[in-house]
Chain A
């Protein structure tokens, strides 16, 4: 499949994520939208990795090129860091829920005054 399809798919998922962050008011849903953004990036990175590999192996006529492995490693780093972020983020959401019994982010507007 041409690379454009992957780029369009990843961009679409990413935009759904961004829209979710901007539009939804529930902290957990916002959080899920952020995860959606990160996973769109993962998909895109893997697709690019495959593309760069194909280009490099066609150019050298040699099976031992390792172009593209760095992007796949990057995906693992994103997953690990996202997990770390989730652990802190959920703790913050729980802390907030204990105090106000709500996870609606409209509560956050009170800080402005």
Chain B
């Protein structure tokens, strides 16, 4: 609860700052302080100190898992603001409002990690996505950004419509909006009704839209490509992972409850394979690094779907680790991308000569995304695959996962190859010392988490 209230309050404070403070770079610092405050109050709640005691009538319930995920989301946003803050400033003349939107998105993340009622799921998803429509279109005079915003908006509200229809049908079948349904053998709501299954399928479709899983991924490349790089960085990381956390909770309770009526595992295995296939194969043929990253985010969604497929202890841990590894590495890659003027592979040629520190950090990020040992990305993939093995069925899915992980290294290594083994004269924006420090910090966290994953898991046993 701390996080939801504080992020909303700090968002309003930032709005007032936008006309009370005239110094442009001050906004960035105010936002960073706000995120630090959020991180502290959220950790206080993990330790048991709740500042505002609000009776939510069971609509929100806080678990250590959800609170830990909140901490990860806030921490990643903090690093994002520290590393890419200067690029956010270049978006627009009045940037305070854009930073405000980040806080509102975090408010939505707080709701999604704790929801216990379908009403809260709906509100959380909407609080999460409406600010993103604005952020996507933040480059107002760029036609690509406009198109991406319109496309994202139309797709997003269409999937919201599907989600609401799903929720309505589920309500018709069970008579309640709470996640847990008391299923009885007799009476009106006995067993699993047809309405509930249709509703769940619609809800699942809509969630697949939000996390860009395979049959519904087609909006992702265009939107990620069209949005300004700084915004894509936020959209592809924290927002997407929050969608997965919400999806996971839904699967745990509603889909296991209805597993007598429909084989969810089979359905998910098809979605996983399709997502991995589309994401990885299309990423190979891209010429622009930004578009490649958009497809790679679909491929990573495929890996995160393994958690929803297997639903066990490994899956929980794996999803947390994956969110850290994937968020940090992607934020890093996009931070470098925002500095490089030509975003095709050729634009990276010879970057190691002119900017050795940036190139080295970028290499760590790409290795982590490819899943090379000693980086967080390797352990994240390892946990996901062991979650599938722990289910005892669908062993072929593990093989598929490994094969696609190997394929994915091709397009990540192309960037590394361009940076180190090709000659060229890469054009970059001014790269400040603090930016390099931020990148190195990101790379260091990725390696440390890759060697000692316990520093994240220990928080689970508070």
Most buried by B among A7, A27, A52: A52
- Whether B158 is near chain A, meaning CB under 8 Å from some CB there, is yes
Where chain A touches its partner, the secondary structure class is helix
- Whether B217 is near chain A, meaning CB under 8 Å from some CB there, is no
What residues make up the interface of B, taking CB atoms closer than 8 Å to A? 119, 122-123, 126, 130, 133-134, 137, 140-141, 143-144, 146-151, 153-154, 157-158, 160-162, 164-165, 167-169, 171-172, 175-177, 188, 222, 225-226
Contact of A38 among B140, B148, B161, B188 (CB under 8 A): B161
Q: How far is the CA of A15 from the CA of B157 in the complex (A)?
A: 15
Nearest A-chain residue to B222, judged by Cβ? A111
Are B149's CB and A92's CB within 8 A?
Answer: yes
A-B CB contacts (within 8 Å), total count: 117
> What distance in Å separates the Cβ of A80 from its nearest Cβ neighbour in chain B?
10
Can you list 25 A-B pairs, Cβ within 8 angstroms, ordered by A?
Answer: A3-B172, A14-B161, A27-B150, A34-B161, A37-B161, A37-B162, A37-B165, A41-B161, A41-B164, A41-B168, A45-B171, A48-B168, A70-B119, A74-B119, A77-B119, A77-B123, A81-B123, A88-B153, A92-B137, A95-B137, A96-B147, A96-B150, A99-B146, A105-B151, A111-B226
List A41-96 residues whose CB lies under 8 Å from chain B: 41, 44-45, 48, 51-52, 55, 67, 70-71, 73-74, 77-78, 81, 84-85, 88-89, 91-93, 95-96
Contact of A44 among B126, B130, B158, B172 (CB under 8 A): B172
Contact of A89 among B140, B153, B177 (CB under 8 A): B153
Q: How far is the CA of A25 from the CA of B144 in the complex (A)?
A: 18
Are B146's CB and A92's CB within 8 A?
Answer: yes
Are B144's CB and A111's CB within 8 A?
Answer: yes
Q: How far is the CA of A89 from the CA of B149 in the complex (A)?
A: 9
Given A70-B177, A95-B146, A110-B147, also A48-B158 (CB < 8 A): no
- Whether A23 is near chain B, meaning CB under 8 Å from some CB there, is no
- Whether A107 is near chain B, meaning CB under 8 Å from some CB there, is yes
What residues make up the interface of A, taking CB atoms closer than 8 Å to B? 3, 7, 10, 14, 17-18, 21, 27, 30-31, 34, 37-38, 40-41, 44-45, 48, 51-52, 55, 67, 70-71, 73-74, 77-78, 81, 84-85, 88-89, 91-93, 95-96, 99-100, 105, 107-108, 110-112
Are B143's CB and A40's CB within 8 A?
Answer: no
Most buried by A among B141, B144, B157, B160: B157
Nearest A-chain residue to B129, judged by Cβ? A85
Q: How far is the CA of A99 from the CA of B140 in the complex (A)?
A: 9
> What distance in Å separates the Cβ of B19 from its nearest Cβ neighbour in chain A?
20
> What distance in Å separates the Cβ of B30 from its nearest Cβ neighbour in chain A?
24
Are A105's CB and B161's CB within 8 A?
Answer: no
Q: How far is the CA of A70 from the CA of B174 in the complex (A)?
A: 13
Residues of chain B within 8 A (CB-CB) of A108 are 147, 150-151, 222
Given A44-B168, A71-B171, A74-B119, also A88-B133 (CB < 8 A): yes
Most buried by B among A18, A38, A84, A108: A108
Residues of chain B within 8 A (CB-CB) of A84 are 126, 130
Are A105's CB and B171's CB within 8 A?
Answer: no
Residues of chain A within 8 A (CB-CB) of B147 are 96, 107-108, 110-111
Nearest B-chain residue to A84, judged by Cβ? B130
> What distance in Å separates the Cβ of A3 from its nearest Cβ neighbour in chain B?
8
Contact of B158 among A21, A67, A88, A91 (CB under 8 A): A21
